[in-house]
Structure 1
Amino acid sequence: MASGKSEEISAPKSRVILQQCLSAKLMVEPKSDASEAKYTQIGRGLVVYICFLKDASEDILDKMVKSILSACLSEDDNGKLVSVLDLPGDVLIIPQATMGGNLKGKKMQYHRNVNKETGLNLYTKFIQMCEDVMMKSDKCKERQTVVRYGTYGNRQVFSMDTNGPYSHVLEF
């Protein structure tokens, strides 16, 4: 039975896609006349695509980090689903502003995304918080897991090996 109060549904402030991986590789700096392309990579673990939407602020980051790193999405050696912290596994964070897009006619529009400066600040803080949580995990320290990340605001070449298309969308 309704309580008489109308429950206000707020628009999401971020969108995340999580995908377990066996390995992943991300170009973080394209080839130039002076140098070869630069890549970052991880082994077994979790790929996190992240997009911050309008009205996003630091107050959502703690919940995001805890939820993402504790979600039981990775298969251990026995096929049991465990968190990336319990695996323990690596994490690759990829900024993905296109996840904030909206199809209007035949074209994508990105009016729902946070502005670039705020997005970069949130992305940087999110990475730091993930690194802090991973460093505090005894299992992650023992295995020397890593948090790697892409370059905010750049197009990046990405490849991944996975044991199944196992993607999950979360909104915060």
Structure 2
Amino acid sequence: MQGFYDKDLYRIAREKMVKSQIVARGIKDEKVIQAMLKVPRHLFVEEALRDQAYGDFPLPIGKGQTISQPYIVALMTEALELKGKERVLEVGTGSGYQTAILAEIALWVYTIERDPDLSEKAKKVLLSLGYKNISFKIGDGSLGWPEAAPFDAIIVTAASPQIPQPLVDQLAEG
């Protein structure tokens, strides 16, 4: 069980992360900065790795996957130019950390993960943190989520040799 002391240490580590890794590298979007300050990244990694959660590097989350380094999460989120009223499709839920950052800013997040175990683990953490503006799907992210389209923004957090046409087709005009 995590005590107040631990929570305070993680909060301080999160503040240092945002200052030294996010703001110092040029992330200016205040919504992104505030989301990064709020979301407890340490809860999205294994307990044995929590002391490293705010480091400037990716960490393993199982199934050969990693949680992206904080700067990459901030950079990709800032690139979406979210205003707060968007419906966002995320391809590659992974740990759910990027999902949480998006959910702090967007109106609704639709997230797809191909691995059922990772999806369930991420969903459990996100729901425990009180997020209610996220829809989860297990499946092939390259196919998107046609029944929920169109999306105002799409973020792909998984590797792909090219942009899948179904994702392009599901992106709203504008």
TM-score scaled by structure 2?
0.22
Q: Which has the higher strand share?
A: 1
Q: Which has the higher helix share?
A: 2
The structure having more radius of gyration, on CA atoms, is: 1
TM-score scaled by structure 1?
0.22
